[in-house]
Amino acid sequence: MKIRIIHGLCAMALLACSMAPVPMEAAEAGKIFPYEAHVETLDNGLTAILVPMEAGGLLAYWTLVRTGSRDEYEAGHTGFAHFFEHMMFRGTEKFPAEVYGAKTTEIGADANAFTTDDYTAYHLGIAAEDLATVMELESDRFMNLAYPKAAFKTEAGAVYGEYRKNRTSPFFVIREAVKEKAYDQHTYGHTTMGYEKDIAAMPTMFDYSQTFFDRYYRPENCVLVIAGDLDVAKTMEMVKKFYGGWKAGYQAPTIPVEPPQTGERKVEVSYDGRSLPILWIAYHADAFDPKSTRLAAANLLVELAFGETSELYKKLVLEEQVVEFLFSSAPMNRDAGVMEVVTRIKDPAKIDYVLAEIDKTIASYQSSLPDAKRLTDLKSRTKYDFLMNLETPDNVASGLSRFIAITGGIDAIDDMYRTLDGVTAENIQGAAQHYLSLDQRTVGILRGTQ
């Protein structure tokens, strides 16, 4: 897993021009997702979502485990969702790690994985002719992962090394501090990596690791997504053949409910190294609901107020050049996440000024309606951007992944974009008033020591 400033964004590989264009007419007819998706759930609870599309003989093969750092609710045991992203490449008795690696290399499969707050994704880019080989490999490791204590300790040490490496990034440091400050109870209060003390102690938790795998890596907690040049009937036969024997047994975690925040929180971080000041602001929001007008308005609000076409961006980034960048996001989480505004300030003396300008912008959206044309244009561009990122099998699987992981299916896509279409200027103002409150925010400031 790579920690990035903008979590949730991933690099998309551009494939050859033989890829078919996205069928825009489907979206224009009222259906946002432009491909026909075939969904079937096996008797053991595994859901398979197949998306046939012209793709020059290529397939994307994704397994989504609906467990992320959110599910680490037991004190002293954070970091295990990310840990299993590593361990899943340790192999099985049938296909040990070196055999798995050799077979995927032989067929030219691009195998990788990543962990988020709400899910873990394992993905491969393959040729359609290698589907049976890959399905045998993948089903085996999800059903029969095996690792000795020595291998467990080695990987746990590697994970701690990754954590220490991430701590050299000032963005990781301030994000970690803000998340912990913003939450009192909920598991979103720790990053995907987990708390350092837990990661350091991980080599002693071999027995616990096996219980974690047994509880969460079960068919009813996983979704298989295959997109590209495929025959639906034949592919489903293969899914039943290779995954039908996977035993159910998922145990849902007990996630604590976060109480409402009732006053502004602040955290200052001294970074042991050279860095310009980073300002990281988090506002509590709501759990993802594709039919929530207010949440859809929040997604548009952050772009209107802080995006590259905003007045604030023009002023702070382009004209005055007081900050290096201005980034904002609205949450798309299984439980209540946070809206964020992040910037790095060129002059340490300007921190209060930049925060005041952000507050001034928020106040303007709370007191007046946004420009109607900007809102209309943004809604069109948002939909267009989504559609244009569905040109390849991997783009499709990647674009679906968070929707599926959070809701269990893809219906939320059409629901969300229909809701977004109906957002009004009054809804934007209402979202600003509801979410961007001082009582609900945490302000983090990082300063370098060199």
- Structure token digits, residue 85: 């992203």
* pLDDT per position as a tens digit, 115-157: 999 999 999 999 999 999 999 999 999 999 999 999 999 999 9
145 and 285 co-located in one domain? no
pTM: 0.91
Which residue, among 385, 328, 322, 383, has the nearest Cα to 353 in the 3D structure?
322
- Structure token digits, residue 123: 């993905």
Answer whether residue 11 is part of any domain: no
Question: How large is the average pLDDT for residues 78-106?
Answer: 95
101 and 206 co-located in one domain? yes
Cβ neighbours for 234, distance < 8 A, ≥ 6 positions apart: none
What pLDDT, on a 0 to 100 scale, did the predictor assign at position 30?
Answer: 62
CATH code for position 163? 3.30.830.10
The number of domains in the chain is: 2
As a whole number of angstroms, the distance between CA 172 and CA 228 comes to: 36
What pLDDT, on a 0 to 100 scale, did the predictor assign at position 10?
Answer: 34
The mean pLDDT value of the chain amounts to: 92
202 and 292 co-located in one domain? no
What pLDDT, on a 0 to 100 scale, did the predictor assign at position 450?
Answer: 75
Write the secondary structure of 390-422 as one string of H (helix), E (strand) and C (coil).
Answer: CCCHHHHHHHHHHHHHHHCCCHHHHHHHHHHHC
271 and 237 co-located in one domain? no
Answer whether residue 1 is part of any domain: no
* pLDDT per position as a tens digit, 202-260: 999 999 999 999 999 999 999 999 999 999 999 999 999 999 999 999 999 999 999 99
* pLDDT per position as a tens digit, 360-410: 999 999 999 999 999 999 999 999 999 999 999 999 999 999 999 999 999
* pLDDT per position as a tens digit, 171-180: 999 999 999 9
Residue 91 has pLDDT above 80, yes or no: yes
- Structure token digits, residue 195: 């708390």
DSSP reduced 3-state for 449? coil
Cα 43 to chain center, whole Å? Answer: 28
Cβ count within 10 A of residue 87: 20
195 and 278 co-located in one domain? no
The alpha-carbon radius of gyration of the chain (Å, integer) is 23
Which single residue is written with the structure tokens 């991430």?
166
144 and 179 co-located in one domain? yes
Question: How large is the average pLDDT for residues 324-352?
Answer: 97
168 and 39 co-located in one domain? yes
Q: Quick check: 270 and 449 in contact, CB under 8 A?
A: yes
Confidence of residue 31 (pLDDT cuts 50, 70, 90): confident
359 and 435 co-located in one domain? yes
Q: Which residue range forms the structural domain that includes residue 438?
A: 265-448
**Which domain-ending residue is among 243, 274, 296?**
243
As a whole number of angstroms, the distance between CA 377 and CA 383 comes to: 10
What pLDDT, on a 0 to 100 scale, did the predictor assign at position 110?
Answer: 83
143 and 59 co-located in one domain? yes
As a whole number of angstroms, the distance between CA 208 and CA 168 comes to: 29
Residue 27 has pLDDT above 70, yes or no: no
The strand pairing partners of 49, in sequence order, are 39, 225
DSSP reduced 3-state for 370? coil
* pLDDT per position as a tens digit, 264-309: 999 999 999 999 999 999 999 999 999 999 999 999 999 999 999 9
Answer whether residue 152 is part of any domain: yes
Answer whether residue 282 is part of any domain: yes
Which residue, among 305, 304, 428, 437, has the nearest Cα to 369 in the 3D structure?
428
Tell me what percent of the residues of the chain surpass a pLDDT of 70.
93
Answer whether residue 441 is part of any domain: yes
Which residue, among 428, 319, 417, has the nearest Cα to 375 in the 3D structure?
428
188 and 291 co-located in one domain? no
272 and 401 co-located in one domain? yes
192 and 108 co-located in one domain? yes
